[in-house]
Structures are given as structure tokens and as C-alpha cells.
Structure 1
């Protein structure tokens, strides 16, 4: 792919909610990654992105440094930041690791957590369904992570939640050349959240295990 420091920047401004400028830019860049607006292989300059977001290049560079630490981009001195490409094998490896973490935890939660705690997560499931119905891919990605984060927090292990969140975020980056995710796919994925939550409430361990494995494999 042709490399240029002035590659296309995200076409639309993202709504930002955090007070920190760096946090705002980081959220916008993460959304652009999920939405495929930041193209794998392309190089983006800090000043060009800063102009797009209406900020100086400094918070853009700081946000890009965070994305580099997460493995989304690489820093090119005096040139900018290249969005890294993902492979199907990397995606499969992420799914395998996520399953190794989440399956045993979900099964333990199904055995030990009171039904009321699971029922309290229904608004999180509804949020994924709402984003899916709207075809809002970045919004769905955020709601998807929020649901898994809320379930895993019931385990009381902050380190587990952080590691699982990072793996989940990486799994959401699209593969190069992959077609845009369809609204129907998002709706089907959101339905799996509902089914998983109901299986947790019912303490149906075989269904919980099957759903978690299938869900992370399709992320």
C-alpha cells in the first residue's frame, strides 16, 4: 500500500466526552481504528490529525504513543505513525487467549454469583443491542467491551479485567481488506450477549461455556 504522511484522516469528527484533550483524541482514534477509517499500512502525521481534530499535534502524538503501546500503530521518527496490519492468525490467537481467560471465569461466576447481580447487567446488554440496531460500529465496540468488563468485574480481580479488556480491544481491530461489518452481524453478536446473560442467570454451565467460546471466536 502506498505510504504517505498525509494519508486520509477520519472523515467525520467523533463526539468526545472526556475532559482530557488527550483522552478525547485517544477515544476518537480508537473509534477510527475500529471503523476502518485509519487504514492499515497508511502513515498519518501528528499535525494532519491535529488539524482534523482541531487540536495541536501534541495530544495527537501522546494518543498515538498509547496506541503504539497497545500494538495498533508504530512510530516512525520524523514521519508519523503507521497503522499496523492484523492477520487472521493473530485474530485466532487472540480468540484462543480470550477463551482461556474468560471461559473458566464465566463458569465460576455462573456457579457463585447471585442472580440479582447478573440481572443488574441487563442495561449493558440493552446498550449493545441499541448500538447494533443503529449500525454504530464504534459505539457497538465500546458497548461490547463494557458488557464483558461488567461481567468479569464480578470476579473481583482487577488485573483480570484489565488484561481481558486489552485482548478484547485488539480483537476488535478489523483485518486489512475485510468488508465492513454489517448491521445484521452486529445484531446477531448483541443477541449472543443476551443469551449469555440468561445462561449465567440460569446457571446453565454447558450453555455458558459454549456461548463464550463461540462469542470470542467471532469477535
Structure 2
């Protein structure tokens, strides 16, 4: 049996579900994670749920406080800056290696996911979540050309954790500037120019960093999971 064919345990499954809900903003920063509500929502008992939350705490996506239980880790400028610096170390090299080693199928997938991302940037009515999903799809496709599994995986983890911050500033982005940077990145990828790839990705990360992050909302004002109308 291949590694990817190994079935998920109940803990693995609920961990993946909660992680995705956090990264997509469905579970908001600072939102309390009530065991009974989550157990009902995901149809799991409290035991695997608590283990999943502990794992997510190890990733920095969930935090525990005495007498208050678990909540989604709030956004912070320090965390955003740290993730941005890690992305600048990992993502440019991952994409540069992909530019050197990617084959015809990789090129076709990069072009297709790029077209989708550019479409979301060009439409003011596109939701932040839809734009973020297109962004992730493009970078996942790009990283697919990198021969190093470890580098691909490390880049994905940091990129995914940074998604909460991209969602938070999505409405304040200069989409035209971002589209221009993206086109230069794709051109460099397809032409096999690693130095230009690195520069373009760093410019893109800085474009997200330059948007002010609103962290004034009180975490306790968040709606409990499953309570949204």
C-alpha cells in the first residue's frame, strides 16, 4: 500500500477538518472551540477531538488557556512577520527549483492555475476565500515541479499557516499590482529563470505584508463554532 493510500484515523480526519476550517477563516481568529459543539459538528467523540486540538496547538493554530479551554489562535503582527520571513526563505527556493526541473505537465498546470488566480484578482466581486483557494492552488501546482519532497512540504506548511493573514488583508490588496507581479512570476517560471522567480515571489510576499492588519476585534466577540446563522 502506498503512503498516500493509508486510511486516515478518526483523529487525523477531524484534525484535517478543523485545520481547513481555521485556514479558510470559517473558524475565526480568537474563536472559542467548544468541545460539545465541535463533536456534534464533526460527528466525533470528545477524545479524538481533544487529541486533534492538541496537535493543532503544536502547529500554532490553536491555543489553550486555563479555565477557558481552547480557541483559534488570534492574529498577531509578530506571527505574521515570522511566517513572512519563513516564506521568503522557503517559497522562492521551492519555486526556483520547480522552474529548473518542471516538465510539460507541470507547465500546463501552472498556466491553468495562474489563469484562475488572475481571474479572481480581476474581479472585484470575488470573495477573499475564493481568491485564497486560487492562490493556494497555484502555489501547490508550482511547488509540484520541485524535486525535493521535504522542501515542498515545508513550504506548504508555512504557506497554509500564512493563509489566515492573507484572508485578513485580502480586501485591502492592490489587486492590479499583485496581478502584475504574478504575471512576471509565471513568465519567469515558464522560462526557467530561477533568479527572477525568487525576486517575484519575494515581491508578492511583501505586497501582502504592506497591507495593515486589523487586530482590534475582541476574540471573545467571536461566534461559537456551529452557531452561525
Same fold (TM over 0.5): yes
Change over 3 Å in CA distance of 1:46–1:218 after alignment to 2: farther
Matches of residues 105-144 of structure 1 in structure 2 within 5 Å? Answer: 105-114=94-103, 117-129=106-118, 135-144=126-135
1:167 to 150, 153, 158: 158
Contact 1:46 1:58 in 2 (8 A): no
SS of 1:174's equivalent? helix
Q: 1:46 maps to what in 2?
A: 35
Change over 3 Å in CA distance of 1:34–1:138 after alignment to 2: farther
Change over 3 Å in CA distance of 1:101–1:64 after alignment to 2: same
Change over 3 Å in CA distance of 1:55–1:189 after alignment to 2: farther
Change over 3 Å in CA distance of 1:185–1:90 after alignment to 2: same
2:149 to 149, 153, 158: 158
Distance 1:54 1:116 in 2: 39
Matches of residues 17-166 of structure 1 in structure 2 within 5 Å? Answer: 25-76=14-65, 79-114=68-103, 117-129=106-118, 135-166=126-157
Change over 3 Å in CA distance of 1:179–1:106 after alignment to 2: closer
Unaligned runs of 5+ residues in structure 1 are 1-17
Q: 1:11 maps to what in 2?
A: none
Q: 1:213 maps to what in 2?
A: 202
Distance 2:36 2:160 in 1: 26
Contact 1:25 1:63 in 2 (8 A): yes
SS of 1:100's equivalent? helix
Shift of 1:196: 1.9
Unaligned runs of 5+ residues in structure 2 are 1-6, 209-229
Distance 2:9 2:128 in 1: 24
Q: Deviations over 1:32-81 (max 9, x none)?
A: 32344434334322112222445443443343233212111123577531
TM-score under structure 1 length normalisation: 0.68
Shift of 1:180: 6.3
Contact 1:98 1:164 in 2 (8 A): yes
TM-score under structure 2 length normalisation: 0.66
Q: Deviations over 1:70-108 (max 9, x none)?
A: 111123577531222232232122212211222234334
Shift of 1:164: 0.7
Structure 1 range deviating more: 156-165 or 114-123: 114-123
Change over 3 Å in CA distance of 1:37–1:163 after alignment to 2: same
Distance 1:59 1:188 in 2: 44
